[in-house]
Structure 1
Amino acid sequence: MAMASPPPGLFSAISYVLLLLTAASATSPDIHEVFSYSGAKGPDNWGHISPEFSACSSGTHQSPVNIVTNQTVVNMGLSPLIRGYRPANATLVNNGFNVGIFFNQDAGFVGIEGKNYSLKQMHWHTPSEHQINGIQYPAELQLFHQAEDGGIAVIAVLYNYDKPDRFIGTIEGKLGEQGKETCGEDQESHIALGVMDPKNIKRHTRRYYRYLGSTTTPPCTEQVIWNIHGKVRKISKEQVEALRAPLFNDCKNNFRPLQSLNGRKIELYDEHNDAP
């Protein structure tokens, strides 16, 4: 299973993103040999690890970013996020650099400006990758979607310390199992979750921020549509520790540093602006 370098050129950037961000198969790369969150393979060096990762250093539309609320632009043309999620078999996966839920069946879609993006997986970063007004939150959930043409859209939710999150509570026992497992650097932990309903994490999004960015792991593919919830959710310290426990030591803080906007504008959708 181990692979010292990324897949050869016959893989497109999108294909490699999916190898990194979807459940591994017997031929998937050993992620921990590809990149890390510290040291020689940390974020500052991602762009130099492989030619396929060059966008991590040369890209001009990279993620994550700091959202300065008084500098966002209200866009009256933005539409609500239309989510048509459905129950599907899922697997809890610890690949060493994050913990995620991967759907083995059609889990539905999100509709963005008339285009459907299928839900593939969701994973957490601790602490958050995106910031709001310079505040880095304890955790960030990212829901990864892909359209038929390969386009990527991500919905992100930020968490602050408070009472436990109800959805994470439903998998907390499984997280505990992963935290007790000992995996080598060429292994992943897979735990079946059975049928999960993504609607259980759905909340009506009255306010979100939109910008065009990139994946936050190599190859840092651009043209990703980011949608960050304006409402910060609640999470307990115990739940954050449960999300961090199974990860490699150099990936416990699995966030990419902030990237420059390079002239990009962050747009704001606010339901109140649609009121007659």
Structure 2
Amino acid sequence: MKAIYCSILVFLILFAAKSVNAHDQEVDDEGEFDYSKDGEKGPRKWGEIKQEWGACSNGTMQSPIDLSSERVQIILKPEKKNYKASDAIIKNRGHDVQIEWIGDGGWMSIDGNDYRLRYTHWHSPSEHTVNGRRYDMELHLVHLSTNPNVENKIAVVGVFYKIGTPDQFLSRLMTDISSMVDKKNATRNLGTIDPKDIKTESKRYFRYIGSLTIPPCTQGVIWTVNKKHAEENARPLQARNSRDVDLYRTILNANN
């Protein structure tokens, strides 16, 4: 079996919400939904399962979408981050595997606002596509802001992966991940995990306004896609609906 390595594509998400409520965040319970194409709990039915999931069916700014090169702008923009090695756990949530930082995993800054790193998880295959191309896997690094004056409370950095040369970060986790297969809600301590080991550097990225990709499919998410396992758990592509997709070029801080 070939290993998985990080491709040169990375993306960033800003979740636009005045407060971070359990109602707005991704659902953890796999029993409430699944990814079957024609099943009663599949993506086509998500919006009918619960009233608060209505945006999954009725929303006009849903994610993921195909990130084509049409209507793309190149913009210079500095980004800062200060990740730290910290204690973490790994959890099998049923529909994905998630790492949660228990201590201080550090932060990233967007438009002068700091977002603390909380957790990361994977989707296979990738949810977004680039000019019609789908990657083997997609990682989300989720950050939260505690600043009451910040409108966008959640920021997510994401990475596309494809089969190839081993990725060091994933290789370290494979023993723990393999031992948790078919063990829903299983949790293990990972010890100290350094987020800097995840390859997230890029000089260019796309941006568009979309949504969370699992219920409740909350809209108002600013997706920024940088250009640099088992069962599928990727939501099908959603209608673009004339939304602009901008391509940003990042100036990396010399101290990062």
| TM, length-normalised to structure 2 | 0.82
Give yes or no for the alignment of 1:204 onto 2:211: no
Could you list the structure 1 runs, at least 4 aligned residues long, displaced by more than 3 angstroms after superposition. 16-19
C-alpha distance in structure 1 between counterparts of 2:205 and 2:24, whole Å: 25
| Contact 1:129–1:257 (Cα < 8 Å) also in 2 | yes
| Distance apart, 1:99 and its partner CA | 0.7
SS at match of 2:155: strand
Number of the residue aligned with 2:43: 43
Matches within 5 A, 1:110-259: 110-148=108-146, 149=148, 151-179=153-181, 182-183=182-183, 187-231=184-228, 241=229, 244=230, 252-259=231-238
| Distance apart, 1:32 and its partner CA | 2.4
| Distance apart, 1:108 and its partner CA | 1.5
Name the count of aligned residue pairs. 227
C-alpha distance in structure 2 between counterparts of 1:259 and 1:80, whole Å: 30
SS at match of 1:52: helix
C-alpha distance in structure 2 between counterparts of 1:88 and 1:168, whole Å: 17
Give yes or no for the alignment of 1:16 onto 2:17: no
Give the aligned residue type for 2:113.
Answer: K
Give yes or no for the alignment of 1:60 onto 2:67: no
Query: Unaligned regions of 5+ residues in structure 1, if any?
Result: 1-11, 22-30, 232-240, 245-251
| Distance apart, 1:208 and its partner CA | 1.5
| Contact 1:139–1:158 (Cα < 8 Å) also in 2 | yes
Corresponding residue to 2:82 among 65, 78, 84:
84
| Distance apart, 1:156 and its partner CA | 1.5
SS at match of 1:158: strand
| TM, length-normalised to structure 1 | 0.76
Number of the residue aligned with 1:249: none
SS at match of 2:213: coil
| Contact 1:151–1:224 (Cα < 8 Å) also in 2 | no
Q: Which has the higher helix share?
A: 1
CA displacement, residues 68-106 of structure 1 (integer Å, 9 cap, x when unaligned): 024322234xx2332111112111111110011111122
Q: 1:17 to 1:87 in 2, by over 3 A?
A: farther
Give the aligned residue type for 1:258.
Answer: L
Give the aligned residue type for 2:238.
Answer: Q
| Contact 1:66–1:134 (Cα < 8 Å) also in 2 | yes
Identity %: 38
Let me know the Cα RMSD of the aligned residues.
2.0
Number of the residue aligned with 1:263: 242
Q: 1:221 to 1:19 in 2, by over 3 A?
A: closer
